[in-house]
Structure 1
Amino acid sequence: MAYEVEAPKYVRLAQTIQQRIEDGTYPPGTRVPSENQLVQAFGMSRPTVVRALELLKRDGWLESRQGFGTIVRGRPAVVEHEDRRGSEALARDETQASGRLVEVGQVPVPARVASVLGLPKRAEVLVRRFLVVEDGEPVELVSSYFPASLVDGTELRSAEPLSGGTRAHLEARKKVRFDHVTEWVSARLPEPGEAELLELPDGVPVLSVLVVASDAAGQALQVSDVLLPADRQELEDTYRLG
């Protein structure tokens, strides 16, 4: 059975706004409709609207100006699209994010994570698993793994949502410094529990973005496995040809 690949709602909204910028509905230099107006016009939740606007700002279509709101810049010379799943996973404030914490505890380290963290195959690590939900639809399952050396003296074991994001928490509590992120994207079939949380039909694969956040010396501080339903995603990149 074939499944139609559809972009998530915030991407579709961003694409609609892009089209209106290109056709002159939202001319350069003018303000885009407010968040409330966009929520009413498109029937989407505020988090979806906010995320769409953030995507357009990141790619250079819009900009925020103090005292003026969100202004149309026009079509960028080059749309430099960058997936930033890693930075989102590191900065996500679980107390404010749309979704819920579904698991916190010690688990056997997955093989890929063990390799990155330099741990033996039978070691255990702490996992914090967060399900991202938008407009009542699960869109991401983020499993973040932490080596034991970084867990003591932190709130990472708490089953309560963590405020401020794991990066800020670890840098404050453990005096470490995150320096760079490496991401690997692959496709696989989900485990039964993953498919249930993401509400996936049988046979639908997931995109797995393995995010490794390291310090300046290359020591991995956090590894996150971000699962995206493949039937609701699309990847886009625009680049210059030399």
Structure 2
Amino acid sequence: MVYEVPAPKYVRLAQTIQARIEDGTYPPGTLVPSENQLVQSFGMSRPTVVRALDLLKRDGWLESRQGYGTIVRGRPETVARKDRRGRDALERDESRASGRLVQVGYVPAPPRVAALLGVPRRTKVLVRRLLVEEDGEAVELASSYFPAKVAEGTALEGSEPLTGAVREHVEARVKARFDHVTERISARLPNQDDAELLGLPADTPVLSVLVVACDVSGRALQVVDVLLPADRQELEDTYRLN
């Protein structure tokens, strides 16, 4: 049985404001109602309102201008079009990927993964490791971790490459949709196994893009650790200044 958990209040408020931006109630270039007005209109606390506005600013729907207020920017199309490693990892069709599965099975959850999935340390979780190659050279190692209650009895446990996006298999299992993704980028030295798979000397660093995919309640349904050879990567971002 799958239990639906209501989204946090600030998320629901942000979704309501976003819907009003999309339907034209709050047109681009106009001011959104003040914090006091939102508190009174929705009967929510000021901290909840502040968190909702911060979420919309982070995602590019709103913009703060000193001495003027919070302005509606509209749908952040440029943000939506940007390539994201997390989205790529979740929507990848393994059967069409230029690479191979190097591991499928249950393993003790690494401490960081266990914390993100909300399970006790050393709890067995399913891992699918995909080595992506281009022109015969390893360019990415993606390790996807799933709680056992999500993976058991599904195609995720199979040793053959999945057909269709990985997220489709997860959403079909839990009867819920992925709502948001958090990416955390860090640099580290690879362990021996990672270095061998990526064809790297042990002293060559890798970039780790830790992708946490959650439903609307904030529950993590999948964690992906994407390793990229640091000497073959260049990160670039373009953003507006307030």
Normalising TM by the smaller chain, what interval? 0.5 to 0.7
1:120 aligns with 2:97: no
- Displaced runs of 4+ in structure 1, greater than 3 A? 78-83
Contact residue 82 and residue 237 of structure 1 kept, 8 A: no
Alpha carbon RMSD of aligned pairs, Å? 1.6
Q: TM-score when scaled to structure 1?
A: 0.65
Which residue is equivalent to 1:40? Answer: none
Instruction: Return the alpha-carbon distance in structure 2 between the equivalents of residues 83 and 112 of structure 1.
Output: 25
Q: CA deviation at 1:79?
A: 7.5
Runs of 5+ unmatched residues, structure 2: 1-76
Which residue is equivalent to 2:96? Answer: 96
Q: CA deviation at 1:83?
A: 4.6
Q: Give % identity.
A: 67
Instruction: Return the alpha-carbon distance in structure 1 between the equivalents of residues 153 and 238 of structure 2.
Output: 43
Which residue is equivalent to 1:161? Answer: 161
Instruction: Return the alpha-carbon distance in structure 2 between the equivalents of residues 91 and 127 of structure 1.
Output: 16
Which residue is equivalent to 1:150? Answer: 150
* AA at the equivalent of 1:241: L
Which residue is equivalent to 1:75? Answer: none
Which residue is equivalent to 1:211? Answer: 211
Instruction: Return the alpha-carbon distance in structure 2 between the equivalents of residues 130 and 183 of structure 1.
Output: 18
Q: Within 5 A, what are the aligned runs for 1:51-200?
A: 82-200=82-200
SS in 2 for 1:140: strand
SS in 1 for 2:86: helix
* AA at the equivalent of 2:85: R
Q: Within 5 A, what are the aligned runs for 1:14-33?
A: none
Which residue is equivalent to 1:225? Answer: 225
SS in 2 for 1:239: coil
SS in 2 for 1:95: helix
Which residue is equivalent to 1:51? Answer: none
Superposed CA offset, 1:74-100 (max 9, x none): xxxx98684511111111111111100
Contact residue 190 and residue 202 of structure 2 kept, 8 A: no
Contact residue 141 and residue 198 of structure 2 kept, 8 A: yes
Contact residue 79 and residue 238 of structure 1 kept, 8 A: no
SS in 2 for 1:159: coil
Query: In terms of Rg, which structure is larger?
Result: 2
Q: CA deviation at 1:117?
A: 0.9
- Structure with greater proportional helix content: 2
Contact residue 109 and residue 124 of structure 2 kept, 8 A: yes
Q: CA deviation at 1:186?
A: 0.5
Superposed CA offset, 1:72-129 (max 9, x none): xxxxxx9868451111111111111110010000111011111111111121110000
| Structure possessing the higher relative contact order (Cα contacts under 8 Å, 6 or more residues apart) | 1
